[in-house]
Amino acid sequence: MTTLFSKHSAHINNIDLYYESYHQQHAHEVPTILLIHGFLSSTFSFRKLAPLLANDFHVITVDFPPFGKSGRPSSFHYSYQNIAHTLWLLLDQFDYSSLIGIGHSMGGQLIFNMMHQRPNRIQKGIFLCSSGYLSRIKPPYTYLSYLPFFEKVIKRQLGKTGVLGNLHQVVYDKNMIDDEMIRGYSEPFEDDKMFRAFKKMMRHWEGDLPSEILQTIQVPCLFIWGENDRVVPMKTGKRLAQDLPNSQFISLPHTGHLLPEEKPWEVYQHIKDFIDIADRKR
C-alpha cells in the first residue's frame, strides 16, 4: 500500500493552520488519526511516530496555534475551546470514515476538548503523557501580561535553561539528544510573534477540563505514560484513566515525557494493539 506524504496550509477561523498528511492511497475505509503536539512543540515531535502509524492509518498532524508553522495573530483567541473548534473546522474539510485522536502533553487536553465539543465524533482517544487538572492562570499573573514588553520576560524565562537544558528535563536517556532535536525544538524561540501570542494565551487559557466533564466521555481511551516523566507525573495519568469510564493505562519504564521521541516503536505497537482490540469489541 502506498503512503502519500504532503504538507499544507489552510486559512481556517481567521488563522493559518499548518498541517501534514500521510494518506493511504486507495484505502478509503482506513481510519484517520489526528496527532496533536504539546506546549512549545510542533509536528516535528511526531516525525518518528507518524510514519509508523501511516503504515496502517491515514494520519493528519497539525501545528496548533500559536506553535510551529501555524499563524500567531494577535486577534486570535488562544483558548482550548477556540483552538479545538478551529481544529474541527479543519477536519470538516476532509472525508474520513472514522477518527482517532492522539494528543501528547497539552495536546491531550485539546483532544479532550474536541471530544467534549462533538461527542462520539472521535471514536477512540489516545493520550501520551497528557496534561490534566491544571487550573486557570491566577489573575495576578494575567494582569502582568498587560505590562509593556512582557513577552520579552516570557522569552527570557522560557529560554533561561536553553533548549538543551529543556530537553534534559523531558527525556530519560539524555544521550538520545542530537543536533536534529536541538534544531527542531529551538524554532519556537526564534520568532518573537510566538511570545506575543503566548502572552494572549495566558489570558485566554481556561484551564484543563474538570473530572465531571471527563467522566462523560464514553469512547475507548488509552493512556500511555513514561514512568520517569518529570513534567506530568504518572499519578496524573492514573487519575485521568480513573475518570474516563472506558479506559486503560500503560506505563513505559526508562521513559520520560517525550514519548513520541523516546519510544516511537513501543508507542506505535501499543496504539495499534489498542485500536485492534477495541475494533474487535464493537
Q: What is the CATH number of domain 3-134+207-281?
A: 3.40.50.1820
How deeply is 204 buried, as exposed, middle or buried, from its count of CB atoms within 10 A (0-12, 13-18, 19+)? middle
Q: Which of 41, 105, 130, 247 is catalytic?
A: 105
pLDDT values of the chain reduced to their tens digit, one per residue, 282 residues: 678 999 999 999 999 999 999 987 767 788 999 999 999 999 999 999 999 999 999 999 999 999 999 999 989 999 999 999 999 999 999 988 899 999 999 999 999 999 999 998 999 999 999 999 999 877 777 777 777 777 777 777 777 778 899 999 999 999 999 999 999 999 877 888 888 888 888 889 999 999 999 999 999 999 999 999 999 999 999 999 999 999 999 999 999 999 999 999 999 999 999 999 888 876
And the C-alpha cell for 154?
516570557
Q: What does pTM read for this prediction? A: 0.95
The confidence score (pLDDT) of residue 1 equals 62
Q: Which of 23, 37, 58, 257 is catalytic?
A: 257
Contact 234, 225 (CB under 8 A): yes
Strands 221-226 and 247-252: parallel
Is residue 9 part of the annotated active site? The answer reads no
Q: Where are the domains of the chain?
A: 3-134+207-281
Calpha distance 127→110 (Å, rounded): 10
Indicate the Cα dihedral angle 106, 110, 112, 115, nearest 10°. Answer: -160
Contact 23, 4 (CB under 8 A): yes
And the C-alpha cell for 126?
489516545
Please name the amino acid found at residue 189.
F
Calpha distance 31→29 (Å, rounded): 6
Contact 52, 264 (CB under 8 A): yes
Is residue 257 part of the annotated active site? The answer reads yes
Q: What is the 3-state secondary structure (H, E, C) of the chain?
A: CCEEEEEEEEEECCEEEEEEEEEECCCCCCCEEEEECCCCCCHHHHCCHHHHHCCCCEEEEEECCCCCCCCCCCCCCCCHHHHHHHHHHHHCCCCCCCEEEEEECHHHHHHHHHHHHCCCCCCEEEEECCCCCCCCCCHHHHHHCCCCCHHHHHHHHHCCCHHHHHHHHHCCCHHHCCHHHHHHHHHHHHCHHHHHHHHHHHHHCCCCCCHHHHCCCCCCEEEEEECCCCCCCHHHHHHHHHHCCCEEEEEECCCCCCHHHHCHHHHHHHHHHHHHHHHHHC
The confidence score (pLDDT) of residue 124 equals 98
The confidence score (pLDDT) of residue 210 equals 97
The confidence score (pLDDT) of residue 26 equals 67
